Structure 1
């Protein structure tokens, strides 16, 4: 299973402290991806990370909420870097929409464990011991970004006249559908699926003659 190898550094930490934090975050990601959110405990994380005690997790992250916050922000940061690497320098709104759709789907292909973790955290956002910001952040993060892109394109005349909020939710749900379809049947080319989905929405949001 491919797990995040690079965790964004926190200012003020020694190299040893940062390495330990990264080790714990990677172990948490792997454990949630394999066992699910509910079955992930400090004891299981300790075992996977090869720690001597669960107290080390508390030392570096304080509480479960602190650990989940670090896991979510790391996963989202990885997804953002993945998109930026593929859309670098793109200012055309249509090209940006295509890149967003295609790379969201390709990210799920290349890093399925990361997608599973984000979905697991979102599905258990009601956990009283979890990070309370996780639910609103994950539910609105991607849809909000798509909606802003659509509104910017409309203001510039690149896109037609339509409800941007509804279109954003439709695009996000279609991306999720592609990911779910691939999870159930990994055979089809997910990148080709993404290109076809981008083709469809490029036509759907284009200005009408």
Structure 2
């Protein structure tokens, strides 16, 4: 899998925000993009500096070490970049919504839309969520992705219950159910890229709005 142009542009913008020079930001974005594509193709545990070097067209793995020190440093950059890009994507699509039901609908529909816009990032986040057993990787990968996947949603559901916007249900179970439903669409979309994501997003939002209604 190749990282799509919109992803590569976003990667470079993220690196530029770190206060790096244009050249450094471009090189780091190139390496992070190659790491994302490699993980998406081969899985986390089969990803190595050698494969990333080849994907990025670098002359040596030492270039990766220069910018990220080791695998843990590179994986930290991959996770924080991927979650940051997804966070921005979701915020842009939920902007302007203030009621809890509207926020929940916007969240679910945006999550489904993200599958079509950044499929490689979706695969990578799934891989990173189960990467804790790799001693060379970043030990915070799995907890951070899991927090991003269900933790914040669970808190939003609890807040909605306290405000009377949502009914009586176990917020942790509901958050996990929503996340797993989105995961199911991701798997189906990976097998069938022609899947109507807009319809799936709308139908899932309808389903969970009914399930959470006061």
Q: Same fold (TM over 0.5)?
A: yes
Distance 1:113 1:166 in 2: 27
Per the alignment, residue 47 of structure 1 pairs with 54
Distance 2:196 2:113 in 1: 10
Alignment RMSD: 1.5
Gaps of 5+ in 1: none
Per the alignment, residue 184 of structure 1 pairs with 191
Instruction: Please tell me whether residue 15 in structure 1 is matched to residue 22 in structure 2.
Output: yes
Instruction: Please tell me whether residue 152 in structure 1 is matched to residue 159 in structure 2.
Output: yes
The 4+ residue runs of structure 1 with deviation greater than 4 A are: none
Gaps of 5+ in 2: none
Alpha-carbon offset, residue 10 of structure 1: 5.0
**Cα displacement string for residues 149-207 of structure 1 (whole angstroms, at most 9, x for unaligned residues):** 11111122111121111111111111111211222333431220111010011011111
Instruction: Please tell me whether residue 118 in structure 1 is matched to residue 125 in structure 2.
Output: yes
Per the alignment, residue 84 of structure 2 pairs with 77
In the alignment, is the contact (CA less than 8 A) between 2:131 and 2:141 conserved in 1? no
Per the alignment, residue 31 of structure 1 pairs with 38
Instruction: Please tell me whether residue 65 in structure 1 is matched to residue 72 in structure 2.
Output: yes
Distance 1:69 1:10 in 2: 16
Distance 1:74 1:103 in 2: 18
Counterpart selection for 1:129 from 136, 146, 160: 136
Per the alignment, residue 175 of structure 1 pairs with 182
Q: TM-score, normalised by structure 2?
A: 0.91
Tell me: CA distance 1:49–1:186, structure 2 relative to 1, closer, same or farther (3 Å). closer
Count of aligned residue pairs for this structure pair: 207
Alpha-carbon offset, residue 140 of structure 1: 2.7
Q: TM-score, normalised by structure 1?
A: 0.93
**Cα displacement string for residues 108-142 of structure 1 (whole angstroms, at most 9, x for unaligned residues):** 12211111111112222210000000111112322
Distance 1:131 1:26 in 2: 17
Distance 2:67 2:191 in 1: 37
Distance 2:40 2:79 in 1: 13
**Cα displacement string for residues 34-88 of structure 1 (whole angstroms, at most 9, x for unaligned residues):** 2222222111211221212111111110110000000111111111111111111
Per the alignment, residue 113 of structure 2 pairs with 106
Distance 1:90 1:74 in 2: 25
